[in-house]
Chain A
Amino acid sequence: MTKITMTVNGKSASGDVEGRTLLVDFLRNDLHLTGTHVGCDTSQCGACTVHVNGKAVKSCTMFAADADGADVQTIEGQANEDGSLNVIQQAFQDHHGLQCGFCTPGMVMAAAELLKNNPKPTEADIRHHLEGNICRCTGYHNIVKSIMAASGQDVSAIAAE
C-alpha cells in the first residue's frame, strides 16, 4: 500500500492505495465521491471524466498513485459556492441535456475543459470534443445545444423544444 495525498475539489484528501487502485476507485470508494461513474473498461465512454491539474482525464484509466500530489476536480465540486448550478450545469438543465444522468458528470467535465480552451465553440468543435463521451439517451442533440448555450451563444434557432 502507498499513501497518497491530493487536493480534491479544493480540499486535501489522502489515503492508502494499492498500485492497481484506479483514480476513479479512490474517488468513489475512499472519498465517497460517487458522482464520477464507470461505464466501460476500455477507456471509451467518458463517464469517469474528471480534471487532473486542470486537464480532463479518464479517471478509470489513471492510477490513483499517479495522481499523488495533483489537483483534482470532480462533478461534486462544480456548483457555485452558494450551491446553485454553475453556468454549464444550468444550461444542461435548461436545455434538457441529460436523461438518465449516468454520463452527465463526464459530459459536464468534458464541456468545462472545452469552454476553458475554446469559449465560443462551433457545433462541429463541440461534437469533436465529445468524441470520448458516450451518451445513450439523448442522441446528443440537447447536450450539444446545452454546451452552445453555456458558452453564451444563441441557441433559439436550433430546432426542438
Chain B
Amino acid sequence: MYNFEFVKPSSVADAVSALSAEGAQALGGGQTLIPTMKQRLASPDTLVSLSDIAEMQGVSSAGGSVTIGGATTHADVAAANAFAGLTTLAGNIGDPAVRNRGTIGGSLANNDPAACYPAAALATGATITTNARDIAADDYFQGMFTTALEDGEIITSVTMPVPEASNYQKFEQPASRFALVGVFVAKYADGVRVAVTGASENGVFRWSEAEAALNGNFSADAIADLSIDASGMIEDLHGSKAYRANLVKVLTDRAVSAAS
C-alpha cells in the first residue's frame, strides 16, 4: 500500500482536528479499509485512528434506547446483548477476529451494500450521531457506499430504540461471508420496520409493502402473498436478481417467525 502518516488522537475534538487536514481519513477497525489500501485503491496522506477515543467506546441503555459508541467493536456489541436482533447481527459479522477489531461506526460510514449493520440501523430507525449533528437513519443511507456524512465527519455514537421484538436473518455469500441478503425485522408499538441489505443496487432499503402488511398482523402469514420486484437487485457470481428477490421474501418470513 501507499505510505501515510498514522495518528491516534484520544479525543473526538483532536480527531476532528486531525481529519481537517488535506488527505486525512478516519480509520475505524480497518477491516475493510486496510484490505482496500493493500489493493492501492485508497491513498490517504494521514490515517486518523479512532480506536483510542474513550468517549466513543461502549454500549449503554437509557429511556428505551441503546446507545453504542462509534468505535465499539462488533464483539463488544454482541457481548452487551442489548436486544435479540442486534446481538445476532453483531455476533455473526465476519469472524471472531474481525469482530474484535471492526466497529459499528466504521461499518456505517462505509455503507457497503452487503454489510450487516446498515440493516440494523435502518430497521430500528436509529439516530446516527456525529461530532456535528444527529442524522436519522432514514436520511443517512444514500445508496451503496454513500451516506449523509460530510468529509471529516465522525460517527461518535448510534442510538437505537429497543424494539419489542426483533430478528436478523443473514444468508451468507459463500466466499466473503458478507450478507448475500440480510433482513432485519424490528417490531415497535407504533409499527414494524423491515430493512434489507445485500440485495439492492442502491444499498440498504426498507421493504415498505412488508412493513404495511406486518403492521396489522405480525406473522409470516401476513406477507405470504407478497413478493418483491427483482429489477434493481444485485446480480453477481453468487446469485441472480431473481434469486436475491426470493431470499428477501424467505428471510423476511423467517425473521418474522423467529423474532423475539
A interface with B by C-beta (< 8 Å): 2, 18-20, 22, 41-44, 46, 49, 55-58, 60-63, 65-66, 68, 110, 113-114, 129, 131-133
B interface with A by C-beta (< 8 Å): 1-6, 8, 27, 30-31, 34-35, 37-39, 47, 49, 51, 75, 94-98, 100-101, 176-177
Task: A56-B97, A62-B30, A114-B96 are known; give 9 further A-B pairs, CB within 8 A.
Answer: A19-B47, A22-B34, A41-B35, A62-B101, A63-B27, A63-B30, A66-B51, A131-B96, A131-B177
A-chain residues with CB within 8 Å of residue B31 when the two chains form the complex: 43, 61
A129 contacts B3, C-beta separation under 8 Å: no
**Chain B nearest Cβ from A81, distance in angstroms:** 27
Closest residue of A by beta carbon distance from B172: A131
A-chain residues with CB within 8 Å of residue B2 when the two chains form the complex: 20
A110 contacts B97, C-beta separation under 8 Å: yes
A-chain residues with CB within 8 Å of residue B1 when the two chains form the complex: 20
B-chain residues with CB within 8 Å of residue A132 when the two chains form the complex: 94-98
11 A-B pairs with CB atoms under 8 Å apart are: A43-B34, A55-B75, A55-B100, A56-B97, A60-B34, A61-B31, A63-B47, A65-B49, A66-B51, A131-B96, A132-B98
Interchain CA distance A18-B34 in the complex, whole Å: 15
B35 contacts A61, C-beta separation under 8 Å: yes
**Chain B nearest Cβ from A65, distance in angstroms:** 4
B4 contacts A19, C-beta separation under 8 Å: yes
B-chain residues with CB within 8 Å of residue A46 when the two chains form the complex: 95, 97
Main secondary structure of the interface of A (DSSP, over half): mixed
Interchain CA distance A132-B4 in the complex, whole Å: 28
Interchain CA distance A62-B27 in the complex, whole Å: 10
B38 contacts A58, C-beta separation under 8 Å: no
**Chain A nearest Cβ from B116, distance in angstroms:** 14
**Chain A nearest Cβ from B177, distance in angstroms:** 7
Interchain CA distance A73-B98 in the complex, whole Å: 17
Closest 7 CB pairs of A and B: A132-B95, A19-B6, A131-B95, A65-B6, A55-B100, A19-B4, A56-B97
Interchain CA distance A22-B75 in the complex, whole Å: 22
Interchain CA distance A68-B49 in the complex, whole Å: 12
A110 contacts B38, C-beta separation under 8 Å: no
Interchain CA distance A129-B98 in the complex, whole Å: 11
B98 contacts A58, C-beta separation under 8 Å: yes
Most central of A46, A55, A129, A133 by chain B CB within 10 Å: A55
B-chain residues with CB within 8 Å of residue A63 when the two chains form the complex: 6, 27, 30, 34, 47, 49
Interchain CA distance A114-B95 in the complex, whole Å: 12
